[in-house]
Amino acid sequence: MNNNNRHLISILMENESGALSRVANLFSARGYNIESLTVAPTDDPTLSRLTLVTSGNEQIIEQIVKQLNKLIDVVKLIDLTETDAIERELMLVKTKAVGGEQRAEMKRLAEIFDGHILDVTDSTYTIELTGRGQKLDNFLRAVEKDAILEVVRSGATGIARGQKALHA
């Protein structure tokens, strides 16, 4: 199998104080990669939804999934990479916007990437973008390097398409 494939794993777990550290601990203790991790309570306040991006060969991913399932606080999980799923990430970018030409260029780029300009000053724009990580990367590549002042990314999150739903 391919080495080091990227996997998007979504976990439903008890909304307990130590639950997040159990997941984080597992990854550091066993030396697994963790690229990003997002977590927030769900519509059911006793449950949190945690999404993480990791990578590894087939055997490592299998172990990660098993080890996560073994945590007492983990109720259910799904490897979204294995199903037809929607993946999204939120990015906030602060760029320089000085002078007519640069301001127009930034606005145009934001539009091309379906972004929104959330905040404007006489020398900066703050742009919001959502999409797959790849799209966000492309945006950053499209913007001239020294124009970027700050980048904040939420880490990927995702949901399966169609009927499939993860619930307790």
Partner 1 sequence: MEPITGAEILVRCLKEEGVEHIFGYPGGSVLHIYDALYAQEDVQHILVRHEQAATHAADGYARASGKPGVVLVTSGPGVTNAVTGIATAYMDSIPMVIFSGQVPTALIGNDAFQEVDTVGITRPCVKHNFLVKDVRQLAETVKKAFFIATTGRPGPVLVDLPKDVTISKTEYHYPKKIKLRSYSPTVRGHAGQIRKAVDLILSAKRPMIYTGGGVVLSEGSTELVELTQLLGYPITNTLMGLGAYPATDRQFVGMLGMHGTYEANMAMHDCDVLIAIGARFDDRVTGKLEKFCPTARIVHIDIDPSSISKNVRVDIPIVGSVPHVLRSMINVIRDEKLRPDAEALALWWRQIEQWRGMESLRYRNSDAVIKPQFVIEQLYKVTAGQAIITSDVGQHQMWAAQYYLFDRPRQWINSGGLGTMGFGLPAAMGAKLAMPDQDVACVTGDGSIQMMLQELSTMKQYCTPVKIVNLNNGYLGMVRQWQEFFYQKRYSMTYFEALPNFVMLAEAYGHVGMRIEKPGDVEGALREAFAMKDRTVFLDFITDPSENVFPMIPSGGGQNEMLLAERDEMVSTHEEGMVLV
Task: Give least dist CB 118 to partner 1, A.
Answer: 36
Task: Give least dist CB 21 to partner 1, A.
Answer: 7
Q: Which residues bind partner 1 (CB under 8 A)?
A: 13-14, 17-18, 21-22, 25, 29, 59, 62-63, 66-67, 69-70, 72-75, 168
Q: Which is nearer to partner 1, 25 or 83 (CB)?
A: 25
Q: Which is nearer to partner 1, 77 or 129 (CB)?
A: 77
Task: Give least dist CB 25 to partner 1, A.
Answer: 6
Task: Give least dist CB 2 to partner 1, A.
Answer: 17
The span from the CA of 38 to the CA of 85, in Å, is: 17
Q: Which is nearer to partner 1, 40 or 72 (CB)?
A: 72
Smallest Cα–Cα separation from 88: which of 30, 146, 4, 155?
155
Q: Which is nearer to partner 1, 63 or 123 (CB)?
A: 63
